[in-house]
Amino acid sequence: MGTRLTKVALRAHRPAFVGTAVAALFSATVVSASTMILVSTGTGGVSAAARRQLTENGVGGMAVVLLIGSIYMSIFVVASTMGTAVAQQHRELALVRAIGARPRQLRRAVAIQALAAAVPAALVGFGLGALLARFWFDGLVEHGLAPAEVSFRFSWLALPVCLAVAVVTSTLAAVLSALRFSLLRPAHALHEAAAGRGGLGPVRAPLGLIVVAGACALSVLLSRQDAEEAGQGAFLVLILFCVGTGLLGPRIIGPAAWLLSSLVGRFGSSARLAMLNVRSQPRRFAAAVVPLVLVVGFGLTKIALRTTAERHTGSAGATGEVWLDYAGTALYAGFAAIAAANTLAMISLERGRDVALLRIVGTHRRQVRAMAAWEATLVALTALLLGGAIALGTLAPILDSAFGSPVPYIPWTLLAGIGSGTLLLALLATGLPVLAVLRRRAIRVLQAA
């Protein structure tokens, strides 16, 4: 039954698994490139002068941090996307449980689905990673971080690393996402698949509160340290805030969305319909917002550190270190952007039946498009609000310790770019799936649902 169920799920939820494959492809590409950079910048077999330059510039440590960071972000992105893909199958999983499927058969089926999406993506990502690694390595040499005598080295070691990260992460995420649901009694599973799961669970909410409290405590502690120590702890504060936001989900995102939707709801019937959709489905809305919060929070934090330093001291730092910092920022923002786009697209595709019902009761296409645009706007505004708050909470102790003021400086052009980029990502990821549904006849969409 596991293989048959897998084939049916892949056909019925093709966009969800395309999204999972894209996430696995991106993560495999970055992990492959990071591994090859680590191998290429090793100090073995180079002259003493080259070894000294690599050591003084901290290139080896940077390569290790890059690899660890890329693995961490890969786990976040692939697990998030795979979890959403499995959650969309709850109705099918509940039905096969009702006709006698055993829990282990369901878990085996979703594990096979994860392998089907992750293995090809990891193999292609390994090859693309070699190209990306060469680009990064040339940048290291160009900016004086690596000596010219050190040459780039292609490494097959990256292949098992890519496969391990993509396959293990996606398979574990799929099995864990299906574990609790597969153990429910069939009647309960059918009810939950139709109505959705209420609450955050007995573990998730307390854990989220502990993580957010830990971030706040660490932020206060860093405000009493010197600038260098505060800067070293900033990344951990940022990660804790983002993880806490993800765990608490609707409990944090809901109030912000409620406030913004009240303002948006004044702009006509389509905006009011978007407002009602957001308020009636807080878990779905939170799943769409969390990855964007990570994009905004991480991007604002890393950029503001440089722009504020340049404002106060006249220099953002050494050219090579600035290039490296921005390259890392682009990398992590890319991970989060892919997670956000995948989640938004899958949520929009999942609502094909809702869109078809709106068309059948007489809603015009332009009204549906406007509703989707307002929903995307609400997602983007909520992410900007919460991401900005996370960035301020992370930056305040560092800036206060370094410059005597917790207020960051970011040029308005950069703020406009971050805001418009977030809005564009939300509009495209939400709007394109809705347009695809609108091109089909509503009655056919309902028959296929």
Angle at which helix 282-313 crosses helix 365-403, to 10 degrees, equals: 40
Phi then psi for residue 198, to 5 deg, are -95, 150
Domain boundary among 197, 229, 245: 197
**Number of domains, the chain:** 2
Q: Counting Cβ atoms within 10 Å, is residue 381 exposed (0-12), middle (13-18) or buried (19+)?
A: buried
Q: What is the pLDDT of residue 228?
A: 62
Rounded to whole angstroms, how far apart are CA atoms 13 and 41? 43
The pLDDT of residue 83 is 73
**210 in the same domain as 167:** no
Domain match, 117 and 255 both: no
> What string of DSSP letters covers 42-73?
--TTS-HHHHHHHHHTTHHHHHHHHHHHHHHH
- The number of CA neighbours under 13 Å toward the Cβ of 85 is 35
Q: Are residues 72 and 21 in the same domain?
A: yes
Q: Residue 416's pLDDT is what?
A: 92
Q: Quick one: residue 364, left, alpha or beta (phi over 0 = left, psi -120 to 50 = alpha)?
A: beta
Clarify whether residues 62 and 173 are in a common domain: yes
Instruction: Please indicate, yes or no, whether residues 236 and 88 belong to a single structural domain of this protein.
Output: no
Q: Give the C-alpha separation, 216 to 393, whole Å.
A: 8
Same domain, 392 and 431: yes
> Do residues 161 and 264 share a domain?
no
Query: Which pLDDT score is estimated for 397?
Result: 78
Domain that holds residue 340: 199-449
Same domain, 153 and 232: no
Q: Identify the domain boundary among 197, 228, 254.
A: 197
Please give the pLDDT value at position 279. Answer: 73
**Secondary structure E strands in 61-165:** none
Whole-number Å distance between alpha carbons of 34 and 28 = 10
CA-CA distance, 61 to 41, in Å (whole number)? 10
- How many angstroms separate the CA atoms of 93 and 182, rounded? 8
pTM score, two decimals? 0.79
- 385 and 361 share one domain: yes
127 in the same domain as 6: yes
Q: What tokens were used for 224? A: 């009493």
What's the pLDDT score for residue 449?
56
Domain boundary (197, 220, 243) is at 197
Distance of CA 15 to the CA centre of its chain: 17
Distance CA 78, CA 24 (A): 6
Positions of the chain with pLDDT lower than 50, given as ranges? 2, 10
Residue 420 DSSP symbol: H
Same domain, 103 and 252: no
Residue 181 shares a structural domain with residue 102 = yes
